[in-house]
């Protein structure tokens, strides 16, 4: 089955794994699936938002329908490297993704409406999204080391990804400035995502049940946003306390 890399419609179910669970799961996954052509890749996802963080604040309220926009690079980008600008929507647990490819150096002009990359209907949808919300700018960069597996033997749409060393930053918000960031999960925790349109194969059902691995609600961007707000509030409270003490 040929997978369209620009349009996606599927369920994406997330699971947090301990180091021990990850070792067990990986051993079984290797029996049934193959590592995709990218192997292990450091993925960068640059999220755009308004000055008031409107998109992510709406998202963490868990509405029936939510949407985000991000630029994604597989590995460290350079100005002339291909990256993807992706519109991600979720409605009643089904994820829809529409994306276009462009050069990294074209991202800023695109958001400033300075260039047209002529990508047809998907570009028009993304432009409408940007115009609707207005003033979108880089807000947060998420980074993680990913290994992705797919069903090469049977050719189904099943895909399983393992994300390690998930981190974020709110400075140096571009895809060319390195892989530094603040850790998002405790050491050793792995985020697994199972992506599919259809039902899980029985070997996967038995694997999850037998190891007491349960789905979880987890948003990298949402979690990073909440951590950042807590850190800012803590710093602000510390400043107020210091000022009051000085008085």
**Selection from 224, 229, 191 nearest residue 70 by Cα:** 224
pTM of the model: 0.88
Q: Which residue has the tokens 């909440």?
A: 226
Assess if residue 1 is contained within a domain: no
* 167-209 per-position pLDDT tens digit: 999 999 999 999 999 999 888 899 999 999 888 999 999 999 9
Check: CB of residue 141 under 8 Å from CB of residue 152.
no
The three-class DSSP label of residue 11 is strand
* 21-59 per-position pLDDT tens digit: 999 999 999 999 999 887 799 999 999 999 999 999 999
What is the DSSP-derived secondary structure letter of residue 2? P
**Selection from 187, 152, 160 nearest residue 26 by Cα:** 160
What's the CATH number where 53 sits? 3.20.100.30
**How confident is the model at residue 243, as a pLDDT?**
53
What is the chain's mean pLDDT, rounded? 89
Least confident of 12-26, 43-57, 120-134: 120-134
**How confident is the model at residue 75, as a pLDDT?**
95
Task: Please give the tally of structural domains in the chain.
Answer: 1
What is the DSSP-derived secondary structure letter of residue 239? H
Assess if residue 90 is contained within a domain: yes
**How confident is the model at residue 1, as a pLDDT?**
39
Assess if residue 51 is contained within a domain: yes
- Domain housing 118: 7-246
The answer to whether the Cα torsion of 6, 126, 216, 192 is positive or negative is: positive
Q: Which residue has the tokens 């189904």?
A: 156
Assess if residue 38 is contained within a domain: yes
Assess if residue 2 is contained within a domain: no
């Amino acid at each position: 089955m040929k997978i369209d890399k620009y349009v996606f419609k599927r369920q994406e179910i997330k699971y947090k794994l301990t180091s021990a669970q990850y070792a067990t799961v990986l051993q079984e996954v290797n029996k049934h699936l193959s590592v995709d052509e990218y192997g292990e890749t450091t993925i960068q996802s640059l999220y755009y938002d308004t000055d008031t963080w409107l998109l992510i604040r709406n998202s963490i309220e868990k509405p029936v329908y939510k949407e985000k926009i991000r630029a994604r690079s597989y590995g460290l980008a350079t100005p002339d490297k291909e990256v993807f600008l992706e519109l991600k929507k979720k409605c009643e647990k089904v994820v829809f993704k529409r994306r276009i490819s462009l050069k990294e150096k074209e991202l800023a002009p695109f958001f400033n409406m300075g260039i047209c990359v002529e990508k047809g209907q998907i570009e028009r949808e993304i432009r409408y999204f940007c115009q609707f919300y207005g003033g979108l700018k880089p807000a947060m960069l998420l980074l993680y080391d990913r290994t992705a597996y797919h069903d090469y033997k049977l050719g189904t749409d099943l895909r399983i990804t393992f994300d390690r060393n998930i981190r974020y930053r709110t400075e140096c918000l571009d895809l060319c400035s390195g892989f530094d960031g603040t850790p998002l999960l405790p050491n050793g925790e792995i985020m697994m995502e199972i992506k599919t349109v259809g039902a899980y194969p029985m070997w996967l059902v038995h694997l999850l049940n037998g190891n007491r691995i349960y789905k979880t609600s987890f948003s990298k961007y949402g979690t990073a946003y909440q951590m950042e707000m807590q850190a800012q509030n803590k710093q602000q409270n510390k400043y107020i306390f210091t000022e009051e003490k000085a008085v």
